[in-house]
Amino acid sequence: MTKKVALFIADGSEEVEAITPVDLLRRAKIDVDVVSVMESRTVTASRGVVITADMKIDEIVFDDYDMLILPGGVKGTNNLNDCDKLKDNIRKFNDQGKGIAAICAAPTVFSGMGILGGKNATCNPGFWDKLTEGGAILDKDSKAVTCGNIITSQAMGTSVDFGLAIVSYLAGEEAAAELKSNIRF
């Protein structure tokens, strides 16, 4: 059965952190819906790039998804954090052991919700204190950290690692290794 994920974007989301996981997941034949939490499907990302989502949050059925993904960007993270419907479903997914993933500033959404307590996690170094305040066991050295059903990653420069960690979680290590071998740096 094909896995399906929802990646949420908002005004101020970091472009590379949003698009790179989508690209890698689609290469791995994992269905991805890009979902706006704003009033419009079109958002303006952190560097002025305009991104059009596949749908808005009110148009999706959360039970259809295997994982929820949050890109960073300070303004984007704040907008995601202000979306109660998203946070209610993040909590539901976590309680059910379903996948949740966040990169850069976005793991602070998880931390602020209290779901990183006692979990290994990472984020942008500028927000490490927010993770430890939420009880996370901070991993400063890893580009992407998988702890049970939760994947976190550091920043824009770790977007490929983040995407590959998600592929590994959803499709297995072999699929992630094959995908990585086809990417040239």
Residue 73 structure tokens = 């960007």
The residue annotated as part of the active site, out of 83, 104, 123, 147, is 104
Element (H, E) at 162: helix 159-171
Task: Give the largest Cα separation in the chain, rounded.
Answer: 39
Write the single-letter amino acid at 165.
A
Catalytic annotation present for 104: yes
Question: What's the CA gap between 8 and 84, in Å, rounded?
Answer: 13
Q: Is 138 helix (H, G, I), strand (E, B) or coil?
A: strand
Burial of 101 (0-12, 13-18, 19+ CB in 10 A): buried
Known catalytic residues are 104
